[in-house]
Amino acid sequence: MNDTPKNATVWIEIPVTDMDKAMQFYEAVTGLALKRDDTGPNPMAIFQVEDPALGVAGHLYPGTPARNGEGPTIHLSVAGSVEEAMERVRAAGGAVVSPAIEIPPGRFAYCMDLDGNSIGVFEARG
Protein backbone atom coordinates (compact mmCIF):
# COMPACT_ATOMS: atom_id res chain seq x y z
CA MET A 1 0.00 0.00 0.00
CA ASN A 2 1.42 3.36 -1.07
CA ASP A 3 -0.03 6.36 0.75
CA THR A 4 2.32 8.88 -0.83
CA PRO A 5 0.27 11.93 -1.84
CA LYS A 6 0.62 13.63 -5.22
CA ASN A 7 1.58 16.88 -3.46
CA ALA A 8 3.00 17.16 0.04
CA THR A 9 1.45 20.61 0.35
CA VAL A 10 -2.26 20.89 -0.33
CA TRP A 11 -3.06 24.45 0.80
CA ILE A 12 -1.29 27.46 2.31
CA GLU A 13 -2.64 30.22 4.50
CA ILE A 14 -0.74 33.46 5.07
CA PRO A 15 -1.93 35.54 8.03
CA VAL A 16 -2.04 39.30 7.41
CA THR A 17 -3.05 42.32 9.47
CA ASP A 18 -4.48 44.42 6.62
CA MET A 19 -6.15 42.47 3.82
CA ASP A 20 -6.28 45.32 1.28
CA LYS A 21 -2.61 46.27 1.74
CA ALA A 22 -1.55 42.61 1.71
CA MET A 23 -3.48 41.98 -1.51
CA GLN A 24 -1.79 44.97 -3.14
CA PHE A 25 1.62 43.73 -1.94
CA TYR A 26 1.19 40.14 -3.16
CA GLU A 27 -0.33 41.16 -6.49
CA ALA A 28 2.56 43.58 -7.08
CA VAL A 29 5.21 41.04 -6.05
CA THR A 30 3.87 38.01 -7.92
CA GLY A 31 2.51 39.90 -10.92
CA LEU A 32 -0.66 37.82 -10.53
CA ALA A 33 -4.19 38.75 -9.46
CA LEU A 34 -5.66 37.41 -6.23
CA LYS A 35 -9.39 36.70 -5.97
CA ARG A 36 -11.18 38.28 -2.99
CA ASP A 37 -13.75 35.99 -1.35
CA ASP A 38 -15.96 37.33 1.42
CA THR A 39 -18.44 34.42 1.52
CA GLY A 40 -16.93 32.52 4.45
CA PRO A 41 -16.58 33.31 8.11
CA ASN A 42 -13.40 35.26 7.29
CA PRO A 43 -12.46 37.21 4.17
CA MET A 44 -9.82 35.59 1.98
CA ALA A 45 -7.68 36.62 -0.96
CA ILE A 46 -7.05 33.48 -3.00
CA PHE A 47 -3.92 32.78 -5.07
CA GLN A 48 -5.18 31.60 -8.46
CA VAL A 49 -3.91 28.44 -10.17
CA GLU A 50 -4.53 27.10 -13.66
CA ASP A 51 -6.55 24.10 -12.44
CA PRO A 52 -7.74 24.27 -8.80
CA ALA A 53 -8.35 20.50 -8.83
CA LEU A 54 -4.67 19.82 -9.63
CA GLY A 55 -2.68 22.79 -8.37
CA VAL A 56 -1.56 23.66 -4.87
CA ALA A 57 -2.93 27.06 -3.92
CA GLY A 58 -3.68 29.12 -0.86
CA HIS A 59 -4.92 32.41 0.45
CA LEU A 60 -4.34 35.43 2.64
CA TYR A 61 -6.57 35.77 5.69
CA PRO A 62 -6.91 38.14 8.66
CA GLY A 63 -4.67 36.67 11.33
CA THR A 64 -1.62 37.07 13.51
CA PRO A 65 1.63 36.67 11.55
CA ALA A 66 4.72 35.12 13.11
CA ARG A 67 7.23 37.74 14.15
CA ASN A 68 9.85 38.87 11.63
CA GLY A 69 10.27 35.75 9.55
CA GLU A 70 10.03 33.29 12.46
CA GLY A 71 7.18 31.30 10.88
CA PRO A 72 7.31 28.94 7.92
CA THR A 73 8.47 30.18 4.53
CA ILE A 74 5.96 30.07 1.69
CA HIS A 75 7.51 30.09 -1.81
CA LEU A 76 5.38 31.73 -4.49
CA SER A 77 5.62 31.62 -8.28
CA VAL A 78 6.29 35.04 -9.76
CA ALA A 79 5.98 36.60 -13.18
CA GLY A 80 9.34 37.48 -14.74
CA SER A 81 12.75 36.93 -13.20
CA VAL A 82 13.68 36.59 -9.53
CA GLU A 83 15.54 39.90 -9.76
CA GLU A 84 12.42 41.64 -11.08
CA ALA A 85 10.37 40.12 -8.25
CA MET A 86 12.98 41.21 -5.69
CA GLU A 87 12.64 44.79 -6.96
CA ARG A 88 8.85 44.54 -6.73
CA VAL A 89 9.16 43.33 -3.12
CA ARG A 90 11.23 46.39 -2.23
CA ALA A 91 8.95 48.77 -4.16
CA ALA A 92 5.86 47.34 -2.41
CA GLY A 93 7.37 47.86 1.06
CA GLY A 94 8.69 44.36 1.81
CA ALA A 95 12.26 43.29 2.47
CA VAL A 96 14.64 41.11 0.43
CA VAL A 97 16.77 39.03 2.79
CA SER A 98 18.90 36.92 0.43
CA PRO A 99 20.44 37.04 -3.03
CA ALA A 100 18.96 34.92 -5.81
CA ILE A 101 19.62 31.23 -5.10
CA GLU A 102 19.95 28.58 -7.83
CA ILE A 103 18.28 25.18 -7.31
CA PRO A 104 17.60 22.45 -9.90
CA PRO A 105 13.96 23.49 -10.63
CA GLY A 106 14.72 27.23 -10.84
CA ARG A 107 15.77 30.23 -8.78
CA PHE A 108 14.39 31.92 -5.69
CA ALA A 109 15.12 34.59 -3.09
CA TYR A 110 14.02 34.85 0.54
CA CYS A 111 11.94 37.92 1.37
CA MET A 112 9.56 39.25 4.02
CA ASP A 113 6.12 40.71 3.39
CA LEU A 114 4.59 43.78 5.06
CA ASP A 115 3.74 41.75 8.19
CA GLY A 116 7.13 40.02 8.50
CA ASN A 117 5.91 36.72 6.99
CA SER A 118 8.79 34.80 5.40
CA ILE A 119 8.21 34.25 1.68
CA GLY A 120 10.25 33.06 -1.25
CA VAL A 121 9.85 34.50 -4.73
CA PHE A 122 10.35 31.63 -7.20
CA GLU A 123 11.20 31.65 -10.91
CA ALA A 124 10.81 28.22 -12.52
CA ARG A 125 13.52 27.03 -14.89
CA GLY A 126 12.79 26.92 -18.52
CATH code where residue 88 lies = 3.10.180.10
From the centroid of its chain, how far is CA 78? 9
Beta strand 74-77 with 118-124: parallel, antiparallel or unpaired? parallel
> What range defines the domain where residue 87 resides?
11-124
The one-letter code for the residue type at 21 is K
**Cβ neighbours around 17 below 10 Å, total:** 13
pLDDT value for 9: 82
pLDDT band, residue 13 (cuts 50/70/90): very high
Helix ranges (H only) for the chain are: 19-30, 82-91
- pLDDT cut 70: percent of the chain above it: 98
For the full predicted model, state whether its pTM sits above 0.85: yes
Within a domain: 75: yes
CA 44 to chain centre: 14
Model confidence at 47: pLDDT above 90: yes
| Residue 121 or 40, more confident | 121
Q: In this structure, is residue 21 part of a structural domain?
A: yes
